[in-house]
Structure 1
Amino acid sequence: MITLDNLDNKLLENYRGFVVKKDLVRSVKVGANVPVFVLEYLIANSCSTDDEEKIRQGMENVKKILSEHYVNPEESNLIQSRIRQEGSYKIIDKISVKLDTKKDLYWAQLQNSNIKDGVISDAMVSEHDKMLMGGIWAIIDVEYDAYSKDGAVLHPFVIKDINPIQLSSFDNSKLITKRKEFSKGEWLNVLLRSCGYEPESEGMSHRIKMLLLSRLIPMVESNFNFIELGPRSTGKSFVYKELTPYAVLISGGQGTVAKLFVHGSTGRVGAVGQWDAICFDEATDKIFKDSDAIPLMKDYLESGSFSRAGTGGEITGVASIILNGNINQPVETILQTSHLFAALSDEVNTDTAFLDRLHFYLPGWEMIKFSPKNFTNSYGFSTDYFSECLKSFRRITYTDVLEEHFSLGSHLKQRDTKPVKKTVSGFIKLLHPDGTYTKEDVKEYLEIALEMRRRVKEQLKRIGGMEFWDTNFSYIDKESQEEHFVGLPEEKGSHLIENTPLQPGVCYTCTSDGDHLALVRIEVVTTQGSGKLNVTGLSNTKVKENIKNTYQYIKANEKSILNSQHSLSSLDLSVQVTTVLGSNISTGIGSAVYMSIISSIYKKNLKPGLAVLGNISVGGAVEKSINLADKITMLSENGAKTTIVPMDNLPELSNVPASVLGNTDVPFYSNNQILMQKGILLE
């Protein structure tokens, strides 16, 4: 007995003939090599009904076709023999083509049939040129010709006809006109069921639904640059592998100039001109086989075009680029020690010019791990129809929609504005194909767009420093003139510097090694002893010298620094140095160490959220801090309420972003007495 819910009935009422019961696909046991769109192509017309008997008959027919014509890899010899015996045979297989430049002809390769040198005409290759780029699934007529030779070598398998497994004609008007029969929530569920997901299953919050839906944006928006990094088993590549014949998966390390951009000898445009979306699977291992593909990809990600010597000028493409990969650590751990691009392959994970061109960073760590209960048994659009709908939406744009009601904040540059507008446009195409939407709809999509682009920018700031300081993304409601700021879920509560009074002996600072910053926590514990200094948490000898010099300065000036009740000769000091965030610690921590030692000896709390920059030399001179603006910014973003800075750094204060100075007080000091006055919490 088939049980239908209200949404099933609505779909059958409005889209009969275009929908299919999704569990039928899973019930057809044909092996893992058959994409969903191949199976649904075969069952959509015969099984788009709620009549159990018709569904049963339709499924029997589908199973018969598959058993007789679909090729399982282990049956390749049997199929080749059947083609020979019958002279001509129709099969369902994935066909690709390679050019033999030595003989100036093409050879067809049938994936599961294990035919590697099938004869195919130039005209057929021209008609179905995607066979040259990863191949296509098709119903293929193969003929056996025992006299077909290339010299003395027999090539008996001849491709006579190809029918790609996708609709031969398409009209999206029905999808658009009937959209009004569904609420926004119902339509979102329809789209997710069409992808095979069950939106009403456990764990499917509205946010998860929207994140799942966002995986379709590269299919409806041309030149959309999308990245998703997260745990395994979250279905990152499912959409691009199974649901559409217009996307191609490229395995890690297989991205060559010829395959992606243009073939040097033939001048044929590569994947960017052939597909709607190119998904680099396992981008955490390696993306490109040729190192010279990287600059071409940067050009393409930026403008949708590239130029290559000998190709006769600029070449354009419309393919969206997707990078998928696995993150094995908790995101909190990654953010404490590194950045969220670190999992990408070494060729690009610190290349800010490459990473800055990514439009949308989907937080894969939020996605649910899929189990059978998360896949739907209900109706959804058949994937051949659905994929054609997605493709048809690429011809229209809604990139100016947000300007009807909102303007973007000052921190968004041109490279940020474009991704935000394209993301909003993509959501409108998917959820409002009839062009009917509200201000609240646009606001929801705008906030998602700002978050996903800001995630890119925040990681660039961790890698590249002040060049990417402007990450405080916002939008302004044109009607109320109210400005709204959009944060990142993973950054909430991540203030690493306590906003309560610091315990005696605890102080924070920031060091820099070139462009690489480290947020450092210093903790000093003082006990009665014989004047020993013990430093832990450090391997850098120069930083250890930094600490020893500060200690020696206090020891040499005990009478002026400490009162008569305290002497370093009767105290043992343990100094623990911890890198809380960022790269390896560097020198320049003397002033923070001084503050920690004195507050520990006197058992005095320091101000809430206190950080100290600069160094005190053996002679007591205050040395300025390098990379001041970067350091203050990093400290501020991680909770610093007060950052005390050497007076010699005063001219550089103008380099610190105004938004940072609005959150963090920056007093100056010229000697150790003023430093203590401004850091100790008054009782």
Structure 2
Amino acid sequence: MAIILDELDEKLLENFRGYVVKKDLVQTLKVGENVPVFVLEYLIANSCSTRDEEAIKKGMDNVKKILSQHYVNPEESDLIHSKIRESGAYKIIDRVSVRLDPKKNTYWAQLLNCNIKNANISDKLVSEHEKLMLGGVWAIIDMKYDPERKHGSNIYPFVVENIKPIQLSNFDNSRFIENRKNFTKNEWMDVLLRSSGIEPGANGITERLKMLLISRLIPLVEKNFNFIEIGPRSTGKSYVFKELTPYAVVISGGQATVPKLFVHGTTGKVGAVGQWDAVTFDEATDRLFKDRDAVPLMKDYMESGSFSRAGAGGEITGSASIVFNGNINQPVETVLQNSHLFSPLSDEVNNDTAFLDRIHFYLPGWEMLKFAPEHFTKKFGFSTDYFSECLKAQRKLNFTDAIDKFFSLGSHLKQRDTKPVKKTVSGLIKLIHPDGQYTQKDVRKYLVFALEMRRRVKEQLKRIGGMEFWDTNFSYIDKENQEEIFVSLPEERGSHLIESTPLAPGISYTATSDGENMALVRIEAALVNGSGKLNISGVSNTGVRENIRNTYLYIQANEKKLLSEQHSLKNYDISIQVTTLLGSNISTGAGAAVYTAIMSQIYKKNLKPGLGILGNISIGGAVERVVNFADKVAMLSENGAKNVLVPMDNLNELQDLPPSVLGNTDVPFYSNSQMLMQKSILND
């Protein structure tokens, strides 16, 4: 009896028989066996790569038999030692690696689950299977026990007689490349997803979601690719790096040390960045590094793929991609309103702009589905050992020049932006067009996607670091017609926080900065009949409260000039509510906005639409110059301000504002409190 196949199953069996596996068979075995997926899929692909249901059943029984008789669980290591000794020879499934011992001029094999550190192995086997020296392979291993084997006075009785790798020990990716032509682009994307265990036809899997899921594979095909995904739990952020490849390592939060990551100071042995294709930091919202000096080394490595370490003998290079996965516990709108999209990261790096600027790709994890059983495929896909080898082979290719054939990049993209965009496009071509056959339409789609993912990084840097990162208006130019197209972010659309309609009496907006932290602030003044009390709420910062109080005292001291008799402060109690709309650390410098809010409330005058106000008014009435002028104007402009009133003393800094700000926002100046009110109030 044959199982029911769809057209894509038929194509896969026709083009890749022996290298594909029915993915639900893996899930069936995975529940009962604590075995790596790629081991299971290797065994299943060899026994069950068919459409015949009876043959699949027999194949599964054979796989179960092999596992029960030969797979070694770590807790059984002593028992296995005994079985090898008592039998003289025994077949096992384990991960075997080899190191050279130059003092004894011999190779030693190490078996992971068996906990055998020094097993004898022949030079011939080592030369036949080079990966034994590159981290090891999973294999069906013929073991022998020989108590006569000695080195000096020590007995080393365990002998590796033969190896049948479960991972492909020799690999040719020509079939992967050549047979790609037999699939359409959409079919091939579905093959990639099914090979990753995901059913592309499941409810909720949109075309955009397919692109996001496939992009998780980019760090495995692109060398030195720095990738971050922050999103809700149960979206499969780490699955690719834990289960789909033996060439990635996952490091738990806080466990990364300099020797483990980079280089051992005593032995000079290169760490994970030189041994793996991808180093993944799981739970990156926890502490990342155990050693404080790992951060500067990681910055160097993420920038150039190399690092220098005292005593390590000069510069050391690696090709591992760096991946950060973390959880976000709030809606993205809330995070954007209160801080920035790197804020969930560990405190070591979440405000370190130099570190964060080295990230090439920010995947919006909040768009991912929480996976349910229906989202896992029951169809055929590449077996994991074959798929992982295909991905690894693509690392040797380079399509970073693909953009240049059709497009150029806009002026806001600096070198540190251009590199990530080109690497992202290259990675997507390697995955979706491994044969290098792509069109201008394909490249355009990948380019827009890449610009979005890098711009997400840059927009958050702008929130943290201000004007240094202001150039975020990413675009590309079509070389055929010179048309420039700008790329926006889904989460930034409609984010204007300052009303474009006339502001109600008592409402004003300003921006503050303590030199590092920017804040967008809403001031609301309310009046009730009373005896001249001032109430301040929404802020605990002593300097800000003093700022507000000084503004109130200025009005009080100049009542005869500023207020009519019936509007005297003696007749009111005034409440000032301070609300931080963006950022977290409000600072001083809000006096002019407070003054405008109070005066407009007293006289019941609307303020101009989209109005922002900068500057401070001292108790004596002096208008104080704004510090971080350009950053503050830019922040107000970006969040909807059409007019930003600023002190005359900042006039010579107008030239520091980006053209995009001046194009969207007028910047009139004032030199005293009367002029401030004249330019703020909406004329009837």
TM-score (norm 1): 0.94
SS in 1 for 2:473: coil
Q: Distance in 2 between matches of 1:187 and 1:627?
A: 51
- Structure 1 residue aligned with 2:670: 669
Aligned-pair CA distance for 1:628: 0.4
Shift of residue 97 of structure 1?
7.3
The answer as to whether partners of 1:30 and 1:66 remain within 8 angstroms in 2 is no
Q: Which residue of 1 aligns with 2:170?
A: 169
Further displaced range: 184-193 or 563-572:
563-572
The alpha-carbon deviation at position 72 of structure 1 amounts to: 2.9
The residue number in structure 1 matching 2:619 is 618
Partner residue of 1:233?
Answer: 234
Against the structure 1 CA distance between its residues 200 and 266, is the aligned structure 2 distance closer, same or farther, given a 3 Å change threshold? same
CA distance in 2, matches of 1:675, 1:624: 14
Q: Counterpart in 2 of 1:92? A: 93
Residues 196, 596 of structure 1: CA spacing in aligned structure 2 closer, same or farther, 3 A cutoff?
A: same
Q: Name 1:585's counterpart in structure 2.
A: 586
1:497 match: secondary structure: coil
CA distance in 1, matches of 2:261, 2:122: 22
Could you list the per-position Cα deviations for residues 35-77 of structure 1 after superposition, in whole angstroms to 9, with x for gaps in the alignment? 2211111111221111112212221211111111112344444
Q: Is the 8 A contact 1:96 1:108 kept in 2?
A: yes
Q: Report the CA distance between 1:148 and its aligned residue.
A: 6.3
- Find the residue that maps to 2:679 and give its secondary structure: helix
> Which runs of 5 or more structure 2 residues have no equivalent in the other structure?
none
In structure 2, the residue matched to 1:398 is 399
Residue in 2 that maps onto 1:5: 6
Give how far 1:347 is off. 2.3
Q: 2:45: which partner in 1?
A: 44
Cα 1:170–1:439 change in 2 (3 A) is: same
Q: What's 1:459 paired with?
A: 460
For residue 68 of structure 1, what is the aligned residue in structure 2?
Answer: 69
Quick one: structure 1 residues 93 and 251, their matched pair in 2 at CA, closer, same or farther if it must change by over 3 Å? farther
Matches within 5 A, 1:296-375: 296-375=297-376
The change in CA–CA distance for 1:122 and 1:659 in structure 2 (over 3 A counts) is: farther
The offset of 1:289, in angstroms, is 2.7
Per-residue CA distance 1:465-523 (angstroms, 9 max, x = gap): 22111111111112222211112112122222222221211101111112211111100
- Counterpart in the other structure of 1:56: 57
Looking at structure 2, the residues matched to 206 and 326 of structure 1 have their Cα atoms a distance apart, in angstroms, of 24
CA distance in 2, matches of 1:656, 1:176: 50
Partner of 2:257: 256
**Cα drift, residue 150 of structure 1:** 8.5
Deviation at 1:92, TM superposition (A): 1.6
| One-letter identity of the residue aligned with 2:20 | V
Shift of 1:105: 9.3
- How do 1:108-147 and structure 2 match up within 5 A? 110-113=111-114, 115=115, 117-120=117-120, 136-146=137-147
Structure 2 Cα separation of the partners of residues 331 and 207 of structure 1: 18
In the superposition, relative to structure 1, how do residues 669 and 134 fare at CA in structure 2: closer, same or farther (>3 Å)? farther
User: Residue 249 of structure 1 aligns to a residue in which SS?
Assistant: strand
- Cα separation, 2, equivalents of 1:395 and 1:133: 17
Cα offset, 1:160, TM superposition: 4.5
Aligned residue identity for 2:407: F
Mapping of residues 419-430 of structure 1, within 5 Å = 419-430=420-431
Contact 1:518–1:585 (8 Å) recurs in 2: yes
Assess if the C-alpha contact under 8 Å between 1:133 and 1:259 holds in 2.
no
Residue 655 of structure 1 deviates from its aligned partner by: 1.2
Q: Which moved more, 1:44-53 or 1:304-313?
A: 304-313
Q: 1:168 to 1:117 in 2, by over 3 A?
A: closer
1:382-397 matched pairs, under 5 angstroms: 382-397=383-398
Deviation track 1:143-197 (CA, whole Å, cap 9, x = no partner) reads: 3445668899876545455544321322222222322222211111111001110
Mean CA deviation greater in 73-82 or 47-56: 73-82
1:614 Cα deviation after fit: 0.3
Alpha-carbon distance change, 416 to 246 in structure 1, aligned in 2, over 3 angstroms: same
Amino acid at match of 1:210: M
Q: In the alignment, what sits opposite 2:445?
A: 444
Q: What's the CA shift for 1:636?
A: 1.4
Deviates more, 1:638-647 or 1:324-333: 324-333
CA-CA distance at 1:668 after TM superposition? 0.6
The letter for the 1-side match of 2:574 is L
Cα displacement (A) at 1:96:
6.0
Whichever residue aligns with residue 119 of structure 1, its letter is: A
RMSD between aligned alpha carbons? 2.6
Instruction: Report how many residues are paired.
Output: 682
Offset of residue 284 of structure 1: 2.1
SS in 1 for 2:270: coil
Distance change >3 Å, CA 29–CA 344, structure 1 → 2: closer
Give the equivalent residue in structure 2 for 1:511. 512
8 Å CA contact retained: 2:110, 2:119: no
- In 2, Cα distance between equivalents of 1:128 and 1:253: 35
- CA-CA distance at 1:388 after TM superposition: 1.6
Q: Tell me: CA distance 1:320–1:125, structure 2 relative to 1, closer, same or farther (3 Å).
A: farther
Alpha-carbon distance change, 122 to 599 in structure 1, aligned in 2, over 3 angstroms: farther
Q: Which residue number in structure 2 is paired with residue 557 of structure 1?
A: 558
Deviation of 1:337 after TM superposition, in Å, equals 2.1
Give the match for residue 224 of structure 1. Answer: 225
For 1:188, the equivalent position in structure 2 comes to: 189
CA–CA separation in structure 1 for the residues paired with 2:679 and 2:122 = 81
SS of equivalent to 2:324: strand
Moved more, 388-397 or 284-293: 284-293
CA contact (8 A) 1:106 1:122 kept: yes
SS in 1 for 2:577: strand
Note closer, same or farther for the CA distance 1:675–1:71 as it changes in structure 2 (3 Å cut): same
Give the corresponding residue for 1:647.
648
Q: Distance in 2 between matches of 1:76 and 1:103?
A: 26
Cα distance change of structure 1 residues 117 and 386 upon mapping to structure 2, 3 Å threshold: closer
Unaligned runs of 5+ in 1: none
CA distance in 1, matches of 2:88, 2:350: 54
